[in-house]
Amino acid sequence: MEEIRLECLSKDFDGFVAVENVSLSIQSGELFSFLGPSGCGKTTLLRMIAGFEIPSTGRILIGNTDITDLPPYKRQVNTIFQNYSLFPHMTVFDNVAFGLRIRKSPKNEITKRVREMLSLVKMEDQANKFPEQISGGQKQRVAIARALINQPKVLLLDEPLAALDLKLRQHMLIELMNIHDAVGITFIYVTHDQGEAMSISDRVAVMNYGNIIQEGPPDDIYERPNSVFSAYFIGETNLISGEVIGIEDDYVQIRCPDGAGSSFNIDSTFHIQPTLGQELTVSLRPEKIAISRNKPRYQDDINILRGVIEDILYLGSHTQYIVNVGALKIRVFSQHKRVYFDDTALDWEEPVWLFWHDTDSWLINEIPENVLTVDEISEGGINHYQRSIKRPAIK
């Protein structure tokens, strides 16, 4: 059943378009994420659903009721704020009881419900403490209890874990999923952290410059990005531009210049109908590429490239190799399993073979204006990269 529907929603701040013509429907009980870099409009979108911003155009519907013009205190929607926003002059108990007291619920019911909520978030024994006396993770739990006690139809979460440290974040993520399962209401989750969005969500909408770029289940977005932006923003990838030089029944051949005067060919299965001579981009996830000092046995459906290791980064669970193919730098993740390969570790400057299956090359019908180098990636290149994808909407 459809719970919430956004119809052609836009928000304009004095000429700056924060959200542009977004239409979307979210199912009842779904855990839906808006994912994008800062400034992409995801928080504005959330604030419009909560009622803190009035849309410039468009409608918001919950169930079949139009709530576009309702003030926040009349919406059956509650929000978890990024900085928790617990009332500092009230105890944990009073914070959680706030919503019920506003509704003038009977006293014994308030006590009962607050106890229930606090036990749901495992905070029963902290009821009489003030917010300044509890930790960040605990504040988060109280904020969740305070929002859920009103039995909203939709719970909005605005970067709820951003202020927590890594371990706690991972822990709270699982906790959030459990709470979602326990209460069964719709969660709308806003984050810039693709890991969070991927692991928690039923569906994700990738946003950039006020638009939804792609929408779908996490694995769909990861495996089948529809744009250079999605491919780049979700996970890590190699983006290689080239020209279609051959089309067969089930694969295309793409000639990719290596930036050093020569070129190599990539074979790829296709989901978009390419035309001969068309320019497009191949997205190649680093973990799909195998790396070896021995030449693999030739197979029909395997791409093989020759390169030289420029850099090796040991990352614990895997090692990242940066391999020069001509002037292109291709990143490869290799897990530390020695079963398949020879026993000695690869070395700097060593010539290697890169190979991957045709189905692991993914075609994107879009050309980045400039190809991202490894240096740009390491210098927090996403902003740089965003700029390179042209966007006329910002006036």
Q: Which residues bind other proteins (CB under 8 A)?
A: 50-52, 71-73, 77-79, 81, 83, 85-89, 98-99, 102-103, 146-147, 150
* Least distance CB 50 / other proteins (angstroms): 6
The secondary structure of residue 380, as a DSSP letter, is T
* Least distance CB 78 / other proteins (angstroms): 6
Asked whether 102 and 149 are in contact (CB, 8 A), the reply is no
* Least distance CB 109 / other proteins (angstroms): 16
Q: Residue 385 — φ and ψ, nearest 5°?
A: -70, -40
* Least distance CB 20 / other proteins (angstroms): 24
Q: Which of 124, 108, 6, 97 is nearest to 59 (CA)?
A: 6
How far apart CA 188 and CA 176 sit, in angstroms, is: 12
* Least distance CB 82 / other proteins (angstroms): 8
Q: Nearer Cβ to other proteins, position 152 or 326? A: 152
* Least distance CB 159 / other proteins (angstroms): 13
Asked whether 211 and 393 are in contact (CB, 8 A), the reply is yes
Q: Nearer Cβ to other proteins, position 130 or 341? A: 130
Q: Nearer Cβ to other proteins, position 77 or 323? A: 77
* Least distance CB 73 / other proteins (angstroms): 5
How far apart CA 368 and CA 229 sit, in angstroms, is: 9
Q: Nearer Cβ to other proteins, position 78 or 268? A: 78
Q: Specify which residues 354 forms β-bridges with.
A: 291, 305
Asked whether 57 and 43 are in contact (CB, 8 A), the reply is no
Q: Nearer Cβ to other proteins, position 102 or 327? A: 102
On the CB side of 105, how many CA atoms lie within 13 Å of its CA?
Answer: 14
Is the CA virtual torsion 224, 228, 233, 238 positive or negative?
A: positive
Place of tokens 């390169």: 307
Q: Nearer Cβ to other proteins, position 131 or 286? A: 131
Q: Nearer Cβ to other proteins, position 102 or 313? A: 102
* Least distance CB 34 / other proteins (angstroms): 18
* Least distance CB 161 / other proteins (angstroms): 17
How far apart CA 87 and CA 141 sit, in angstroms, is: 14
Q: Residue 96 — φ and ψ, nearest 5°?
A: -70, -35
Count helices and strands in the chain by DSSP H and E runs: 10, 20
Q: Nearer Cβ to other proteins, position 71 or 246? A: 71
Q: Nearer Cβ to other proteins, position 78 or 138? A: 78
| Alpha-carbon distances of 338 from 18, 255, 293, 356, rounded to whole Å | 49, 33, 13, 18
Cβ partners under 8 Å of residue 182, min gap 6: 120
* Least distance CB 139 / other proteins (angstroms): 12
Beta strands at 238-247 and 65-66: parallel, antiparallel or unpaired: unpaired
Q: Nearer Cβ to other proteins, position 88 or 277? A: 88
How far apart CA 45 and CA 51 sit, in angstroms, is: 10
How far apart CA 241 and CA 285 sit, in angstroms, is: 14
